[in-house]
């Protein structure tokens, strides 16, 4: 086959058609596929025989072309059209494609069809999705770290290679009193106080911003209002911008409070030293001996009074176990247990024990033990206060001897007093017997010499008043010889109240008592209330006359 000028053999064109990387198919004027290349068959999984005669639109997944009607209305326009859609494979799966559609006219016919170029963009879509996800993640990461940057309690600012501030967090702005816009582009070195710049060489300052510092260093900053701010800074080199330029991120921590605390701590240490010296002087001036032991019982401090008391020097006593200056008088385990118990607990009161002086003499003392925390490890130690009671013990022996002598004398006098008491009891008994005899004689005389005549007077013609007086005389004589008057006297009744009580006992009402005693009824009522109060009858409703009868 020979090629005519300006023409190519069909076989040659079909080879080019099949060698194309994009899928290509040609349709007739009805949209049926009349020609398809190998790339489209590989792409969709159909054979050329399965595709030829099929509508090209059947390969398009429904809904993948937003304006499907517009697509078909433009198929036969003269202009080329490009679309993005989803195609079906033979196995039913879908894949994303770019479609390029061009009209074509067959030379022998007036009818027209289209040629469609199909490019599989699955990988490009995946790459686009991955890029979009990466950009979203980058934005989230940028937002996250920007929030972290701004939430930091330390002031942070980034300095570019020229030394200008390119970003600062919220804490940095608040710390120095600047707005972010005022810091952006500002030379970082201008944030330092002028005095600090004058005190430090420029080379040193440049060195600070030229290298990484693994540790914080102190520097002085200056706020917008001119006040000085001591800070602790740390500089780290970072890569900044798309050109991988080196920049610095500077972390700044306000140490004003720490400086103030350090000054206060220094003052506290000074005050503590003065206090320690003061109390050590007081400790040594105390009249009682005082020593302190560590947690294992060795003496770590002793005052002058204790050294003088036991005859030791400080060098001889310091480091010595405290139990060694307490004598083991009997060599018994009981004494050892007592010593261990003494050092094992707090005593709120002094107790007596024995100590041994350097010369071997025994010293009676009054001691008090208190647990304390000693040293930085908070180990339990004890402080022991010791008071020499030798003189007191001597006085106690003298007092005991005097008491023994006194008790002997008291026993002798007690025997003498018992004899006197015996005589007095005999006399008192005789007196009681005389008193009882006298009372019995008086009762007998009243009953024999007075009562009969009262009975004779009652038999006379008497008016009501006279009868009342005779009745009163009789009742009073009965009371005189009865225990009633003796009992009412124990309640501290006044003479008038005794009379009123006697009338109440014998059934007289308030009006009758008032006439007999020439008193007003209100006064008699007052006496009645007073009698009830003294007899403890105010809080109950007991009958006064009944209660008075019970006193007989």
CA distances from 519 to 24, 472, 492, 516 (A): 147, 17, 21, 8
Statement to judge: residues 15 and 116 lie in one domain: yes
Q: Is residue 315 part of a domain?
A: yes
Helices (H), 286-317: 304-310, 314-317
Q: Are residues 233 and 193 in the same domain?
A: yes
Q: Are 385 and 288 in contact (CB under 8 A)?
A: yes
**413 falls within a domain:** no
What's the predicted TM-score (pTM) here? 0.35
In a domain? residue 449: no
Strand 33-36 relative to strand 379-388: parallel, antiparallel, unpaired? unpaired
328 within domain boundaries: yes
Which sign, positive or negative, has the C-alpha torsion 316, 320, 322, 324? negative
3-state secondary structure of 62: coil
Last residue of a domain, one of 367, 388, 409: 388
The rounded distance, in Å, linking the Cα atoms of 206 and 220 is 15
Domain match, 308 and 234 both: no
Has residue 351 been placed in a domain? yes
Give the integer Cα–Cα distance in Å for 469 and 66.
140
What Å distances lie between residue 436 and 422, 431, 441, 543, CA to CA?
Answer: 21, 9, 9, 33
CB-based contacts of 182, cutoff 8 Å, min separation 6: 224
SS3 at position 408 = helix
Nearest to 230 by CA among 248, 209, 206, 257: 257
The CATH number for 342's domain is 3.30.450.20
Residues 249, 304: one domain? no
Residue 421 lies inside a defined structural domain of this protein: no
Measured distance CA(336)–CA(546) in Å, rounded:
75
Name the domain boundary from 69, 100, 120: 120
Angle at 19 between CA 16 and CA 25, to 5 degrees: 80
- Rounded CA separation 485/480 (Å): 7
DSSP 450: I
Q: Are residues 113 and 163 in the same domain?
A: no
Question: Is residue 246 located within the same domain as residue 296?
Answer: no
Residue at which a domain ends, from 368, 388, 408:
388
Q: Could you tell me if 116 and 166 lie in one domain?
A: no
Whether residue 73 lies inside any domain: the answer is yes
Based on the fold, state whether residues 104 and 53 are members of the same structural domain. Answer: yes
Which CATH number belongs to the domain containing residue 498 in this structure? 1.10.10.10
Range of the domain at 28: 11-120
Residues 221 and 291 in one domain: no
Instruction: Return per-residue pLDDT of the chain as tens, 552 residues.
Output: 444 444 557 677 677 788 888 899 988 888 899 989 998 999 899 998 999 999 888 888 887 765 545 555 555 454 556 778 889 899 989 998 988 888 776 555 545 678 888 998 888 888 888 888 888 887 887 777 677 777 777 888 888 878 889 888 888 898 899 998 998 998 888 888 776 555 554 555 555 555 555 567 788 888 899 898 888 888 887 766 655 667 788 888 888 888 888 888 888 888 888 877 787 787 777 778 888 888 778 888 888 888 898 889 888 888 888 888 877 644 555 555 555 665 555 555 677 888 888 888 888 888 888 877 665 555 667 888 888 888 888 888 888 888 888 888 888 888 888 878 888 888 887 776 776 667 667 766 766 667 777 777 877 777 878 778 877 787 777 666 555 665 666 677 887 888 888 888 888 889 888 888 888 999 999 988 888 888 888 777 778 888 877 776
- What total of structural domains would you count in the chain? 4
The end-to-end CA distance of the chain, in Å, is 170
Question: Is 404 within the bounds of a domain?
Answer: no
Write b or e for each residue in 178-206: b if 16 or more Cβ atoms lie within 10 A of its Cβ, otherwise e.
beeeebeebebbebbbeebeeeeeeeebe
Whether residues 303 and 378 fall in one domain: yes
| Whether residue 305 sits in one domain with residue 233 | no
Same domain for 167 and 233, yes or no, is yes
Distances (CA, A) of 171 to 96, 375, 494: 50, 41, 93
């Amino acid at each position: 086959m020979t090629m005519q000028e300006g023409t190519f053999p069909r076989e040659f064109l079909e080879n080019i058609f099949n060698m194309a990387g994009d899928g290509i198919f040609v349709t007739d004027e009805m949209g049926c596929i009349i020609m398809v290349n190998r790339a489209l068959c590989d792409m969709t999984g159909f054979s050329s025989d399965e595709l030829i005669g099929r509508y090209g639109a059947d390969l398009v997944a429904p809904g993948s072309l937003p304006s499907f009607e517009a697509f078909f209305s433009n198929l036969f326009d003269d202009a080329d059209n490009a679309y993005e859609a989803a195609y079906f494979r033979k196995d039913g799966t879908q894949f994303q494609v770019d479609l390029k559609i061009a009209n074509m006219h067959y030379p022998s016919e007036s009818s027209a069809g289209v040629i469609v170029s199909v490019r599989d963009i699955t990988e490009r879509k995946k790459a686009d999705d991955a890029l979009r996800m990466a950009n979203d993640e980058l934005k989230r990461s940028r937002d996250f770290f920007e929030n972290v940057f701004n939430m930091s309690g330390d002031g942070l600012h980034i300095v570019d290679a020229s030394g200008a501030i390119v970003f600062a967090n919220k804490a940095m702005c608040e710390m120095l009193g600047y707005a972010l816009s005022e810091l952006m582009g500002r030379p970082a070195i201008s944030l330092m106080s002028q005095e600090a710049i004058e005190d430090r060489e420029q080379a040193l300052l440049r060195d600070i911003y030229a290298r990484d510092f693994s540790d914080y260093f102190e520097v002085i900053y200056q706020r917008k209002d001119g006040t000085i701010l001591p800070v602790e800074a740390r500089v780290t080199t970072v890569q900044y911008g798309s050109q991988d330029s080196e920049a610095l991120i500077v972390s700044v921590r306000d140490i004003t409070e720490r400086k103030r605390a350090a000054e206060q701590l220094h003052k506290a240490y000074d005050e503590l030293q003065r206090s320690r010296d003061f109390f050590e002087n007081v400790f040594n001036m105390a009249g009682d001996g005082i020593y302190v032991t560590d947690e294992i019982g060795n003496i770590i401090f002793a005052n002058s009074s204790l050294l003088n008391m036991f005859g030791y020097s400080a060098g001889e006593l310091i480091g010595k176990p405290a139990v060694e200056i307490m004598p083991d008088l009997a060599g018994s385990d009981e004494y050892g247990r007592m010593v261990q118990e003494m050092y094992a607990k707090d005593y709120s009161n002094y107790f007596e024990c024995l100590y041994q002086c350097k010369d071997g003499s025994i010293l009676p003392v009054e001691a008090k033990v208190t647990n304390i925390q000693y040293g930085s490890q908070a180990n339990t130690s004890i402080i022991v206060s010791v008071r020499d009671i030798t003189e007191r013990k001597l006085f106690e022996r003298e007092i005991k001897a005097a008491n023994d002598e006194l008790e002997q004398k008291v026993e002798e006098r007690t025997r003498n007093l018992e004899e006197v008491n015996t005589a007095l009891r005999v006399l008192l008994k005789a007196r009681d017997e005389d008193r009882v005899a006298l009372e019995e004689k008086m009762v007998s005389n009243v009953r024999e010499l007075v009562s009969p005549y009262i009975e004779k007077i009652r038999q006379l013609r008497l008016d009501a008043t006279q009868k009342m007086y005779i009745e009163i005389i009789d009742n009073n004589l009965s009371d005189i010889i009865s225990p009633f008057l003796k009992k009412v006297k124990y309640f501290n009744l006044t003479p008038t109240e005794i009379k009123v009580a006697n009338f109440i006992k014998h059934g007289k009402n308030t009006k009758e008592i008032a006439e007999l005693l020439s008193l007003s009824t209100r006064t008699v009522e007052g006496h009645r209330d007073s009698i009830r109060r003294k007899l403890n009858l105010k809080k109950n409703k007991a009958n006064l006359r009944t209660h008075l009868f019970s006193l007989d």
